[in-house]
Amino acid sequence: MISSETLIHEFAPLCLTVDRVGPFQDRVEEFDLTDAGNEPCNFYLFVSKNGRGKTTVFELLVALMNMLGREELPSFGFEPLDREGGRAQLDVKVTLGETGYSAKSYVLSLIGGEIGEEYSLKAWGEEDLRRVGAGEWHRLGFRRTAAGRLVALRASDWAKDFNALIANAVGMPLKEFGGDPLTYPTLIYFSAYRNIQRVPDIERSIVAPRDWNYRPVHVFDIEGRDWRDSLDNLLVWLKWLEDRRFEQAVKTVNDNVFAETPKFLKGVRKDPPEGIIVNEGHEHRLDRLSSGEKSLVQIYLRLGAHMTGNTFLLIDEPEVHLHRNWQYGVLFSLMKMAKQAFPKLIVFLATHSERMMKAFAHDIEEEGLRKGGFIIETVGEESRAERIAREAAEIYGGLNNRGNVEATRQTEE
């Protein structure tokens, strides 16, 4: 039984299945989000050339997670599900417990798109559940009818209760920076179009940032188009709260972005209210930082402000605008955060950077990290890779894993 006292000990991804969505038209694509031991990964890399579907996967995850806590849904906010006949399923492992009671694990499938009432893209039988340490399978979601309406899927009492638990949590205050005690799941997505613009010359009041407190989904791209959506507003708000979150935010930015530079985030000024960067004694606004610095400041401030005890962090092209040394630095910083928060922070990165792929070191085991990854390819590209692997096996013998196939492909090119 789920009650308001229920704690979510785990909300972790197991599998994403995609059909007729964006570039994924030729077949049903299944992304295994677990490691070799069938445990949910907490650090996962999507790799592909441009146009193969990395961003599509992230926008799809946003759409599916955005169904949580809703009894009605006007739209998915994602055109392949709303208008193009696409459908998808995200399977997560949910472990619940209350004080004095033993925890129990379930598989919850979030399903959306043009799909039948009882149909699932991936069914979970007893053996599948046992493999991931779960006892029951439940479904939530919305299907698009032939007339274009979105109708809630028939759900079990457990699924309805879990959905109500999330719905009642929306708007609850978060009280910590960088990992709040609230255990409700949230997804934080940073698109590849990250930037900090100068805030328009409008009245700036002390007001909570838009979508402040708990939400199942937060999406960030360009900052500063409106006062309530700006990082300046976030910093001013944290300073006004006077509960240590402002000091934690400043330290996080300075430690992770400006550690080896003469720059630092000093704080906020009163008139006009905005963040202050100091560089060799000279002060300037956040929007005067370099493109790479703005990208990192945004990620660390927004993540810290909205992270809960069960967080999915999605960053599209984390390498954008960054020098190669900074690319390594941000990767290692995120890996460190995932280790420290294990297993409460799950990081998904989408990249086509060879440097990040090599530094990720998928085959090297590290304590506190469950690594995973997927090379997104067209059917033709996969057939070509398999042909290369067969030829290489005949010549060299034993090339049988995907990493070696990729290495062979790069050698041929």
Angle between helices 291-306 and 245-256 (to 10 degrees): 140
- Over residues 247-267, the mean pLDDT reads 95
Looking at the fold, whether 171 and 224 belong to one and the same domain comes out as no
Q: Is the pLDDT of residue 128 over 60?
A: yes
User: Which residue among 267, 296, 325 closes a domain?
Assistant: 296
**Helix (H, G, I), strand (E, B), or coil: what is residue 195?**
strand
Looking at the fold, whether 115 and 228 belong to one and the same domain comes out as no
Query: Does the residue 191 lie in any domain?
Result: no
Residue 152, H or E segment: strand 150-152
The first and second tokens of residue 324, run together, are 């190669």
What digits encode the pLDDT tens for the residues 391-409? 556 665 543 444 443 443 4
What digits encode the pLDDT tens for the residues 319-370? 988 888 888 888 999 999 999 999 899 999 999 888 888 999 999 999 999 9
Q: Is the pLDDT of residue 10 over 50?
A: yes
Nearest to 217 by CA among 295, 311, 309, 113: 311
Look at the block and give the residue holding tokens 């990082």.
Answer: 231
Of 94-108, 113-127, 361-375, the least confident: 94-108
The first and second tokens of residue 155, run together, are 């759900």
User: Which residue among 268, 296, 324 closes a domain?
Assistant: 296
Do strands 273-279 and 263-270 pair parallel, antiparallel, or not at all (unpaired)?
A: antiparallel
Confidence category of residue 3, pLDDT binned at 50, 70, 90: confident
Q: DSSP string covering 281-296, please?
A: TEEE-GGGS-HHHHHH
Query: Does the residue 125 lie in any domain?
Result: yes
Task: Check residue 10 and report its DSSP letter.
Answer: E
**Helix (H, G, I), strand (E, B), or coil: what is residue 357?**
helix
Q: Where are the alpha helices (DSSP H) in 133-187?
A: 157-169
pLDDT score at 405: 37
Is residue 110 within 8 A of residue 68, CB to CB? The reply is yes
Is residue 90 within 8 A of residue 109, CB to CB? The reply is yes
- Over residues 17-38, the mean pLDDT reads 95
pLDDT score at 1: 75
Looking at the fold, whether 102 and 165 belong to one and the same domain comes out as yes
CA dist 274 and 282 (Å) reads 15
CA dist 88 and 328 (Å) reads 33
User: Which residue among 296, 320, 352 closes a domain?
Assistant: 296
Its domain, for residue 400, covers 383-412
What digits encode the pLDDT tens for the residues 178-220? 989 999 999 999 999 999 999 988 889 999 999 999 999 999 9
Confidence category of residue 49, pLDDT binned at 50, 70, 90: confident
Share of the chain above pLDDT 70, in %: 91
Looking at the fold, whether 26 and 157 belong to one and the same domain comes out as yes
Looking at the fold, whether 16 and 143 belong to one and the same domain comes out as yes
Do strands 273-279 and 282-284 pair parallel, antiparallel, or not at all (unpaired)?
A: antiparallel
Looking at the fold, whether 53 and 121 belong to one and the same domain comes out as yes
Q: What CATH number is given to the structural domain containing 179?
A: 3.40.50
The first and second tokens of residue 275, run together, are 């963040």
First to last CA, the chain: 57
- Over residues 251-272, the mean pLDDT reads 95
Looking at the fold, whether 159 and 129 belong to one and the same domain comes out as yes
Query: Does the residue 99 lie in any domain?
Result: yes
Q: What is the mean pLDDT of the chain?
A: 91
Q: Where are the alpha helices (DSSP H) in 174-309?
A: 231-241, 245-256, 291-306
The first and second tokens of residue 332, run together, are 């290692």
pLDDT score at 401: 43
Q: State the number of CA atoms in the 13 A half-sphere of 298 facing the CB.
A: 29
What digits encode the pLDDT tens for the residues 275-293? 999 999 999 999 999 999 9
CA dist 258 and 173 (Å) reads 30
The first and second tokens of residue 318, run together, are 């984390």
- Over residues 297-317, the mean pLDDT reads 97
Confidence category of residue 101, pLDDT binned at 50, 70, 90: confident
CA dist 249 and 319 (Å) reads 22
Whole-prediction pTM value?
A: 0.91
Q: Is the pLDDT of residue 384 over 70?
A: no
CB neighbourhood size of 316 (10 A): 22
Domain count for the chain, please give it.
3
Of 23-27, 311-315, 378-382, the least confident: 378-382
Looking at the fold, whether 270 and 322 belong to one and the same domain comes out as no
- Over residues 118-126, the mean pLDDT reads 96
Long-range pairs, 121-126, Cβ under 8 A, ≥24: 121/17, 121/19, 121/28, 121/87, 121/88, 121/89, 122/15, 122/17, 122/30, 122/89, 122/91, 124/91
What digits encode the pLDDT tens for the residues 65-92? 999 999 999 999 999 999 999 999 999 9
Q: Is the pLDDT of residue 127 over 50?
A: yes
Looking at the fold, whether 29 and 160 belong to one and the same domain comes out as yes
Looking at the fold, whether 274 and 351 belong to one and the same domain comes out as no
- Over residues 311-325, the mean pLDDT reads 90
pLDDT score at 240: 96
Cα dihedral 125→159→74→313 (10° resolution): -80
Looking at the fold, whether 169 and 268 belong to one and the same domain comes out as no
- Over residues 302-326, the mean pLDDT reads 92
Looking at the fold, whether 252 and 395 belong to one and the same domain comes out as no
Look at the block and give the residue holding tokens 């399903």.
Answer: 111
The 345-351 sheet, strands edge to edge: 217-223, 185-196, 310-316, 345-351, 43-47, 371-375
Of residues 165 and 355, more confidently modeled? 165
Share of the chain above pLDDT 90, in %: 79
Q: DSSP string covering 142-157, please?
A: EEE-TTS-EEEPP--H
What digits encode the pLDDT tens for the residues 213-250? 999 999 999 998 899 999 999 999 999 999 999 999 99
pLDDT score at 378: 62
